[in-house]
């Protein structure tokens, strides 16, 4: 459409490329071949890929495999990728070649052309060559899986684990705040024996704590990377020390542990570590969904529902009903949960895409894994700040407790199960309390009834949790 172009060449011949683009022929072919979705690798992935190229150039110079002047230009160009200054140059659709070769070449071409420019050359001149200079010791088949692992490690560290830790602390703070609020427990959505509201929140904090532990395990799995296997895991055309040195450099640069896999054939033919990490994210999501749903149920009403919690009022809830306030923050959380569960299903199916020496559903697995990390981190942070911190306990839980039929459970060891059941049934029919019926149907004194039916004696010992 009249846009200025230049001619770049690859092994298949000449291709017209936008004149000012840093990418080249291979990338342009991929743009034309995959006009599918408009979805791109997230910046987190691209920056991790740039970091791999940067470390590879440094190591190749150290090993005497790359001219220092060219290597320095590659490092400078790759740093611009890491810093996000060239994000707009990564233009290949997620739904592309299953190995991610198009995106690996996108990175090679962008870095090569930018390095060429830094050396005073013209774009497309191949003064710095995308394959010969940027890609030595590498293959898309080991670089792209390594970029998935590295980007996921960084995303978990920066975007997800801190908000989850903050949410856990907020839930434990509410457990302490609500410790003296004794209310009716519920099993099967029916009244059960008493529980402290603080104990419920202690359970929620435990879910998040265990989710964090599972994510730490996933990080350990992700720390082993495929780099060094090149095409099929044999390491052909890679220096024997290349991968171990690059991994050491990446660990230093990124601040996360990255290690060369002990089994390259496993690392390149499967996405097992990615599937495992997605499973850990799914578990965290399910836990968040349980907490969000409990909170909105406990806050239901406020008069025709449970009404045991009061939610922070963050926005009007209805366009027609004045004064209505909805649990919009928990609702946003459960929608994120649904998305993460769908992402996990996609990652699991992608994990089945390993045929012989290569998995060919790598890009879509990366996209969904990283989206899940980002969504969960953002949802956890928002849930903490706009909902959990502002929750208040109402009087309704303790007031309903005296009317609860499950208090008859405390009578069973004294008068027997059947007699206690008859008292509960009579209380249900008459609308009276367990205490009132037991006063008529048993010989227990008022003092004995007060002791036996004291809710505080039914919720276990121990004090509120520490910070």
Residue ranges covered by each domain of the chain? 20-136, 142-225+264-396, 402-458
For the domain spanning 402-458, the CATH number is 1.10.40.30
Angle, helices 362-386/43-62, rounded to nearest 10 degrees: 120
Rounded Cα gap, residues 2 and 430, in angstroms: 85
Would residue 188 show up in a list of annotated catalytic residues for this protein?
yes
Rounded Cα gap, residues 370 and 339, in angstroms: 12
Each residue's pLDDT, cut to its tens digit, for the chain (467 residues) gives: 568 999 998 889 999 999 999 999 999 999 999 999 999 999 999 999 999 999 999 999 999 999 999 999 999 999 999 999 999 999 999 999 999 999 999 999 999 999 999 999 999 999 999 999 999 999 999 999 999 999 999 999 999 999 999 999 999 999 999 999 999 999 999 999 999 999 999 999 999 999 999 999 999 999 999 999 999 999 999 999 999 999 999 999 999 999 999 999 999 999 999 999 999 999 999 999 999 999 999 999 988 999 999 999 998 888 888 888 899 999 999 999 999 999 999 999 999 999 999 999 999 999 999 999 999 999 999 999 999 999 999 999 999 998 999 999 999 999 999 999 999 999 999 999 999 999 999 999 999 999 999 999 999 988 899 87
Q: What pLDDT was estimated at residue 412?
A: 96
- Catalytically annotated residue among 11, 188, 319, 443: 188
Rounded Cα gap, residues 56 and 147, in angstroms: 13
Query: Exposed, middle or buried by CB within 10 Å (0-12, 13-18, 19+), for 262?
Result: exposed
Q: What pLDDT was estimated at residue 317?
A: 81
- Catalytically annotated residue among 318, 430, 450, 457: 318
β-strands 190-196, 182-187 pairing: antiparallel
Tokens 């649990």 -> residue: 327
Would residue 276 show up in a list of annotated catalytic residues for this protein?
no
CATH topology of domain 142-225+264-396: Fumarase C; Chain A, domain 2 (1.20.200)
CATH topology of domain 20-136: Fumarase C; Chain B, domain 1 (1.10.275)
Rounded Cα gap, residues 8 and 331, in angstroms: 51
Q: What pLDDT was estimated at residue 253?
A: 97
Q: What pLDDT was estimated at residue 5?
A: 96
């Amino acid at each position: 459409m009249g846009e200025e172009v230049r001619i770049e060449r690859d092994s298949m011949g000449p291709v017209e490329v936008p004149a000012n683009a840093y990418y080249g022929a291979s990338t342009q072919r991929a743009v034309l071949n995959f006009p599918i979705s408009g979805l791109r690798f997230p910046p987190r992935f691209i920056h991790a890929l740039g970091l791999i190229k940067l470390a590879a150039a440094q190591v190749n110079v150290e090993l005497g495999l790359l001219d220092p002047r060219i290597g320095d230009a590659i490092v400078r160009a790759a740093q611009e990728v890491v810093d996000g200054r060239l994000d707009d140059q990564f233009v290949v659709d997620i739904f592309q070649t299953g190995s991610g070769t198009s995106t690996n070449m996108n990175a090679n071409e962008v870095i090569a052309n930018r390095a060429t420019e830094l050396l005073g050359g013209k774009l497309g001149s191949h003064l710095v060559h995308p394959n010969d200079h940027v890609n030595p010791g590498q293959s898309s088949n080991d670089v792209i899986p390594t970029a998935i692992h590295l980007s996921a490690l960084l995303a978990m560290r920066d975007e997800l684990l801190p908000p989850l830790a903050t949410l856990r602390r907020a839930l434990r703070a509410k457990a302490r705040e609500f410790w003296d609020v004794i209310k009716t427990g519920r099993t099967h959505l029916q009244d059960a024996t008493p529980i402290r509201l603080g104990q419920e929140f202690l359970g929620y904090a435990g879910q998040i704590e265990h989710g964090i532990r599972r994510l730490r395990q996933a990080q350990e799995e992700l720390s082993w990377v495929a780099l060094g296997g090149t095409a099929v895991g044999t390491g052909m055309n890679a220096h024997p020390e290349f991968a171990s040195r690059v991994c050491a450099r990446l660990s230093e640069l990124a601040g996360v542990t990255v290690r060369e896999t002990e089994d390259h054939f496993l690392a390149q033919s499967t996405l097992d570590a990615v599937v495992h990490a997605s499973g850990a994210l799914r578990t965290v999501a399910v836990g968040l969904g349980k907490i969000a749903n409990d909170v909105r149920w406990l806050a239901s009403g406020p008069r025709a529902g449970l009404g045991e919690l009061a939610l922070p009022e963050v926005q009007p809830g209805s366009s027609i009903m004045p004064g209505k306030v909805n649990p919009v923050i928990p609702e946003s959380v459960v929608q994120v949960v649904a998305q993460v569960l769908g992402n996990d299903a996609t990652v699991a199916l992608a994990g089945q895409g390993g045929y012989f020496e290569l998995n060919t559903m790598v890009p879509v697995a990366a996209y969904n894994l990283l989206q899940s990390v980002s969504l969960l981190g953002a949802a956890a942070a928002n849930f903490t700040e706009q909902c959990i911190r502002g929750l208040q306990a109402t009087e309704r839980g303790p007031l309903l407790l005296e009317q609860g039929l499950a208090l008859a459970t405390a009578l069973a060891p004294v008068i027997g199960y059947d007699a206690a059941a008859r008292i509960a049934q009579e209380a249900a029919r008459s609308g009276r309390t367990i205490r009132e019926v037991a006063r008529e149907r048993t010989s227990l004194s008022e003092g004995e009834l007060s002791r036996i039916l004291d809710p505080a004696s039914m919720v276990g010992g121990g004090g509120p949790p520490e910070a």
